[in-house]
Amino acid sequence: MKSVKAYRYRYLILLSLVLLMFSVGVQWLNLAPVGRVANHYYQGQLPLRYSSPVDLLSLTYLLVFIVASIPASYLLHRLGIKWATWIASGLIIFGAMTKWLYLSNFLAVLFGQFFLALGQALVLTSITEIVSRWFPIRERGMAVGITSASQYLSLALVMIISPLMVATRANDPAWGSGFEQMMRFYAFFSSILALIPAFLIRENPPTPSSSLASKKSESFLSSFRALNANTSLRGLTIIFSVGWGVLMTLFIKVDEISALLGFPDSNGLLGIAMLAGGMVGAVLLPALSDRFRRRKLFFVFCNVCSIPGILLLVFCQQIGQVILGSEAIALIGASIVGLSLLASVPIGSQYAAELGQGIHEEIIQGMLLLFSQAGCAFILIVSLVTTEQYSVMLLSSLGGLLVAAMIGSSFLKESSMIITEEERLNDVINQEIVHLQ
């Protein structure tokens, strides 16, 4: 048996990751719940015919990650996690303060969003590397899960806080007031959260956290070829990207969709409903997937359940005339969509890791994230260039994508590792004696 030490300081490292995720996450969609106010505030400042400020700011995060994810990984490899964290913190603080100080100029706000997106790329690409250095094997899934969950919590935070700080009631004479105060709050909130990890982060623990030898590096190109040769993994990557892209599009355009469905106020209730359902699904369904040792079954189940949810959104006004009312039906549909699609993320991530046996897990997850961001960017760009007369078809189009994803998921093969994964992992865990420090 080999002895390793797990240092208490690893929880401060985990706190640093959570704070970084929060600081950059709240800046992504903080305008989405009050999109009508934001679009009115910047009215006339955009030269693009069919774009809106909220969509462009959200799209910046997606496009920058697609371009910067690989350079960010290289920078992390060359400089180490300490320097990478310092740089990410600096980018987040600079971007957040720029958005607030030059709030009245949309191009300056977009410039600040660009630097925030660069910070996000560094944060997301560093998670598995930092966790693998500081946490023993038996705790790594927990650490990555907590860090990932903090991104969802940051989205829930903005869905609640933004409508509370801005007057959004349609008949309120003060409609739109509080917008500047909201942006000031987010600027200081993000800056403080991003500054703390710069003081807490450490490069390595005094001794390695695991006796398991780290894998040799593998190039992106060779990993892509291996992924492309695996039919089920390739299909899962596409289906995963569609589901994630639809979910993020719903969050990004939540206020626009609320207006189309007849919600008079920018209150963020649709987004809150999606996240509430998602929190339940993201805990319950992955646990059931582990319990019954079925990845494909539960991944397909998530895709199937998303269909009635999106249909309730599409036909909420018609159904609402018969029962409960259109707003209640829309909220039920949003919670079902959130429960299904948010649960599919952890299940799909683990499913991909098992299907890609032989390919480094961090590379598989990086590719899932890369393709997901690209998928969401594509959907958002299509919605941007679509004229207003077709905007009512947005939900129907997203529903069509979910139907295609549901059909495609049925052709995937079950993970061959699911039966023996626990035994294989236990063999490694049992070789280590962890001493808490």
Which burial class, exposed, middle or buried, applies to 203 when counting CB atoms under 10 A from its CB (0-12, 13-18, 19+)? exposed
44: left (phi over 0), alpha (psi -120 to 50) or beta: left
- Return the pLDDT at 191: 92
Among 159, 394, 124, which residue's Cα sits nearest to residue 278? 159
Q: Say whether 4 sits in a helix, a strand or coil.
A: strand
Looking at the structure, tell me whether residues 391 and 243 fall in a common domain. Answer: yes
- DSSP, res 283: H
| Angle CA 399–300–295, to nearest 5 | 145
Q: Which domain holds residue 348?
A: 226-437
Helix and strand totals (H; E) in the chain: 17, 2
- Return the pLDDT at 43: 79
The CATH code of the domain that includes 361 is 1.20.1250.20
Tokens 């000031």 -> residue: 184
- Return the pLDDT at 434: 60
Q: Digits of tens for pLDDT over the chain (437 positions)?
A: 456 677 788 888 889 888 998 898 888 888 888 878 888 888 777 665 556 787 788 888 888 888 887 787 778 777 888 888 899 999 999 999 999 999 888 889 989 999 998 988 888 877 767 777 777 766 665 676 677 777 778 887 888 888 888 877 767 677 778 888 889 999 999 999 999 998 988 888 777 666 554 444 455 566 667 666 777 788 888 888 888 888 888 887 777 787 777 777 666 678 778 877 877 777 777 777 767 777 788 888 888 888 888 888 888 888 888 787 778 888 888 888 888 888 887 778 777 777 776 666 556 766 777 788 888 888 877 777 665 555 567 778 888 888 888 888 888 877 666 555 455 555 555 555 565 66
Out of 209, 235, 251, pick the residue that ends a domain: 209
- DSSP, res 208: -
Among 381, 162, 148, 372, which residue's Cα sits nearest to residue 258? 162
Domain annotation covers residue 214: no
Out of 161, 180, 209, pick the residue that ends a domain: 209
Looking at the structure, tell me whether residues 3 and 123 fall in a common domain. Answer: yes
Looking at the structure, tell me whether residues 403 and 273 fall in a common domain. Answer: yes
- Return the pLDDT at 302: 87
Cβ-contact 252, 58 below 8 angstroms:
yes
Looking at the structure, tell me whether residues 150 and 299 fall in a common domain. Answer: no
Residue 211 tokens, joined: 């006796």
- Return the pLDDT at 1: 47
Looking at the structure, tell me whether residues 72 and 178 fall in a common domain. Answer: yes
Distance CA 174, CA 166 (A): 9
Looking at the structure, tell me whether residues 92 and 198 fall in a common domain. Answer: yes
- Return the pLDDT at 216: 46
- Return the pLDDT at 97: 93
Distance CA 85, CA 94 (A): 14
Domain count, the chain: 2
Looking at the structure, tell me whether residues 293 and 408 fall in a common domain. Answer: yes
Looking at the structure, tell me whether residues 181 and 271 fall in a common domain. Answer: no
Q: What is the DSSP string of 364-427?
A: HHHHHHHHHHHHHHHHHHHHHHS-GGGGGGHHHHHHHHHHHHHHHHTTSPPPSSTTTHHHHHHH
